[in-house]
A and B are shown apart, each in its own frame.
Chain A
Amino acid sequence: MTNYKLTDQDFRQINLRCLCGFELGWNYERMQGSGYLYTILPQLRKIYGDNTPELKEMMRVHTQFFNTSNFFNTIITGIDLALEEEQGVKAKDAVVGMKAGLMGSFAAIGDSIFGALLPAIFGAIAATLAIKGNPLGLVIWFIAQMGVILFRWKQLPWAYKEGVNLVTKMANKLSAVTDSASLMGIFMVGALVATMVNVKFAWAPTIGSVPLNIQNNLDMIMPRMVPAIIVGLVYWLLGKKGMTSTKAIFLVLILSVLFSALGVLAKG
């Protein structure tokens, strides 16, 4: 039992340090380890007191390997501080276990929601408008990201008060949200394939003396079929062993130049 209770001012300090500095020390050895210590260092000093052996022990604990989504990391911080404030250095094993246990699952959810889904939806709208020379889509995306920052700001006091309960509650809500957001993401990709891959068949062989307009025939079957086929092929390619996104990008680049030079494809 320690004597210190976290205040709103502490939450503000942790959030500020987290938002401005959590990943500055990211390195291959312990990833966000030093960042975790940096965000809660003032609070650790208040809980254990300066120059105590307990503080040194906990500082050592908090520089160890840590890596999670930086959109969810303060949930773990909140639960951690509630435990340490209650039990002091005796909570060490529980804290280490909780950090290791939660960081993996939050990393996965955070990456899929904030790394893939939001860019898919807002990036798609912003990019489509940008290519027409209109920066308005970026404004919409910016507003959405401000909402995300607000969410990151609020989760620390929630987690501190509700502890592990919050994780269970959130897991239920998040799975419904993630599922629906992925649905919308997939829908948007479909829409993007139909509008943003502007290539067409340039190859027009003549049969006898009649030129055969392949592109027009394809349009009659299904408009925008060429982009759909290209995306399908790349999707299949990415499933191959040893294929990375960078390799795929260069492969597509080379093939596009080749087919363009042969007169099969053209910018449309």
Chain B
Amino acid sequence: MSIQWWQILILTLYAGYQVIDEIQFWSSLNTPIFGGLLTGLVMGDMKTGLVIGGSMQLMVLGIGTFGGASKLDANSGTILATAFSVATGMDATQAVSTLAVPVASLMIYMDILGRFTNTFFAHRIDAEVEKMNYKGIERYFVAGILPWSLSRMIPVFLALAFGGGLVAKVVAYLNGPLKWLGDGMSTAGAVLPAVGFAILLRYLPLKKHVSYLFLGFVITALLTTLFGNIQAIGTAVGSVVKNFSGSFNGLSMLAIALIGLALALINYSHASAMIESKGAAAVATAVDAKGEIEDDEL
């Protein structure tokens, strides 16, 4: 199955939109999950898109744009991996590590190029400020949309339009003579979320709240084993007993999140009570901090 022109068109337009959403609205339509969902729908296989998008989301949970540093473009990776996974019948987890991750990291260079190109517009704006040309200032500022969007749209378009043959060959190899590599890539796809979690822990105050890491892990590990075993029993019983109508769902992550929320709320009431009692002191330090910054300025 090859990718149709209208599919290429929608996906290219989305690639341009998602980066603007990322730097402006942050509406969650910029996340790999939505990228996967949309690409999946466009390609006619929502499930594959959600699996690839979800895996990429977990991998980049803690990777934000800190101080304007370029980061992995997980979304462009998800678009291409989903499109080719559906088009060539590649296994979804395998597509994460063979396509999504390499694409996401190569796209870092396009991000740098886009941000670099914008420097040109910044100088045009300086010139317009001197001329007091308000329309000119605004025109060159809004033109910044071009480097941002095109830096994503061009590579995504080229890959979708011309990359199919190459990807099909890779898939044939991974399922044929290089099966060990294909299986390895699937395993890697399953391990990659672990990197996302570790990165996230590096950004969170782990030392202070390490007990909650254990709590979250142990509660979930025990319950997920329990639920998994009950499901297995349910299926087994269902295949033997005729009138068996029980249905067993897996562990609900939302329920686990609510336990976490409860713990966070308890902590919040303690923390705000502490701050209230130390109110005066806190204000004093805040003012101090400000004074310090102003000294720096002088």
Task: For A67, give its contact among B67, B187, B283 (CB under 8 Å).
Answer: B67
Q: Which of A176-235 contact B (CB under 8 A)?
A: 176-177, 179-199, 219, 222-224, 227-228, 230-231, 234-235
* A168 contacts the other chain (CB 8 A): yes
Contact of A186 among B46, B65, B213, B293 (CB under 8 A): B213
Please give the distance in Å from B98's CB to the nearest CB on chain A. 10
Nearest chain A CB to B75 CB, angstrom units: 13
- Most chain A CB within a 10 A radius of its CB, from B23, B47, B62, B194: B194
With A189-B197, A194-B220 as contacts: A120 and B188 at CB distance below 8 Å: no
Known A101-B294, A237-B198; 20 more pairs at CB < 8 Å: A25-B125, A27-B144, A28-B118, A70-B24, A119-B61, A121-B257, A124-B61, A124-B257, A127-B33, A127-B53, A138-B34, A172-B282, A186-B209, A190-B220, A191-B216, A197-B194, A198-B190, A231-B201, A258-B184, A260-B186
A246 touches B260 (CB 8 A): no
When A and B form their complex, which 10 residue pairs have the shortest distance between CB atoms, in order from nearest?
A: A190-B216, A115-B64, A257-B184, A130-B54, A256-B188, A190-B217, A234-B198, A27-B118, A101-B293, A24-B144
Interface size of B as a range: 35 or more
Q: Interface on B for A, CB 8 Å cutoff?
A: 20, 23-29, 31, 33-34, 36-37, 46-47, 50-51, 53-55, 57-59, 61-68, 72, 93, 97, 101, 105, 108, 115-116, 118-119, 121-122, 125-126, 129-130, 132, 134, 137-138, 140-142, 144-145, 148, 180-181, 183-195, 197-206, 208-210, 212-222, 224-225, 250-251, 253-254, 256-257, 259-261, 263-265, 267-268, 271-272, 275, 279, 282-283, 286-287, 289-290, 293-294, 296-297
> Which of B50, B119, B279 is the one whose CB lies under 8 Å from A29?
B119
Question: Are the C-beta atoms of A231 and B198 separated by less than 8 Å?
Answer: yes
Using CB atoms, name the residue of chain A closest to B62.
A116
- Interface of B, secondary structure class, is helix
Best-surrounded residue of A100, A122, A126, A198 (most CB of chain B within 10 A): A126
Contact status of A175 and B275, CB under 8 A, knowing A60-B129, A101-B290, A115-B65: yes
Q: Which of A180, A191, A235, A245 contacts B256 (CB 8 A)?
A: A191
| Contact indicator B142/A27 (Cβ below 8 Å) | no
Nearest to B71 among chain A residues (CB) is: A245
Contact A130 B202 (CB under 8 A): no
> How far, in Å, is B37 (CB) from chain A's closest CB?
5
Instruction: Report whether B194 and A227 are in contact in the complex, using a CB–CB cutoff of 8 Å.
Output: yes
A25 to B271, CA, bound (A): 39
A126 with B199: CB separation less than 8 A: no
In the complex, whether A2 has a CB less than 8 A from a CB of chain B is no
Could you tell me the distance between the alpha carbons of A51 and B133 in the complex, rounded to whole angstroms? 9
Number of interface residues of A (CB under 8 A): 130
Complex: chain B residue closest to A258, CB-CB: B184
Binds B, one of A4-12, A84-92, A142-150, A155-163: A142-150
Q: Considering only CB atoms, which chain A residue lies closest to B119 in the complex?
A: A27
Known A28-B116, A191-B220: A116·B105 in contact at CB below 8 Å: no
A30-B208 Cα distance, complex, nearest whole Å: 36
Cβ contact within 8 Å between B253 and A191 = yes
Q: Is A133 an interface residue (CB 8 A)?
A: yes
